[in-house]
Chains A and B, each alone.
Chain A
């Protein structure tokens, strides 16, 4: 049995040496793991961005639907009657300005 043990040890040692001699045995470059504080901050940043996206429409007030409707009317008139477009746009801008002042 000792002979068997010896040849097996030698066999495996040679196998391992062959692999180690292979070109692929070079140590690869591995990027350092991010340290914990950095990971914590980046996570917090992601949550802040997500919260901003969700809360933004509630914080910044958008024009009421009547004005949005009016903007599409102005565009339609620009296509159909370009001559009165300037007047319409001015009226639209005025109404928007008034809305902002009231808000």
Chain B
């Protein structure tokens, strides 16, 4: 697979995935675009070690997740404050709200209130359409936990949609 193909396939989804790390959103020190580029370079440079037994998508997201965690830990050491956190509470600016429709704003707020692990699971499931065991491999957790978390994510959103009159 050529670099351009890998780039076209993964760059945009990786930016969204990297954005899901709370430390990336809050720190202002790490740009998701930069992280995605670094991940793709890493992928390209280690193509020889890719095991075709597993799907390319799973491999790329495993690298991406490890890379983001490492980058956040390095940044925390350099800047002397923790940049990771699983607590909810991201603020959504008025500009961002204005450019999205009401339903998107609702989902954005809902996802922002989730722990970062759940946001990543939601992304891998609903954007990349990965199977439970593939998500489990990327997230380093049992499939049962992924299933439980997905059920909770979907249930929570379903309730939110009902309350807002969408369902």
Contacts and interface: CB of A to CB of B under 8 A. Distances in A.
Task: Please indicate whether A and B come from the same complex rather than being unrelated chains.
Answer: yes
B104 A4 contact: no
Interface of A: 1, 3-5, 7-9, 11-17, 19-20, 22, 24-25, 27-28, 30, 33
B11 interface: yes
Contacts of B37: 28
Contacts of A14: 104
Interface residues of B, number: 30
28 contacts: A1-B158, A3-B161, A3-B166, A4-B155, A4-B157, A4-B158, A5-B126, A5-B154, A7-B166, A8-B154, A8-B157, A9-B127, A11-B108, A11-B111, A12-B16, A16-B12, A16-B13, A16-B16, A17-B12, A19-B11, A19-B12, A19-B15, A20-B11, A25-B12, A27-B3, A27-B8, A30-B41, A33-B45
Contacts of B123: 12
Contacts of B111: 11
B161 A7 contact: yes
* SS class, residues of chain A in contact with chain B: helix
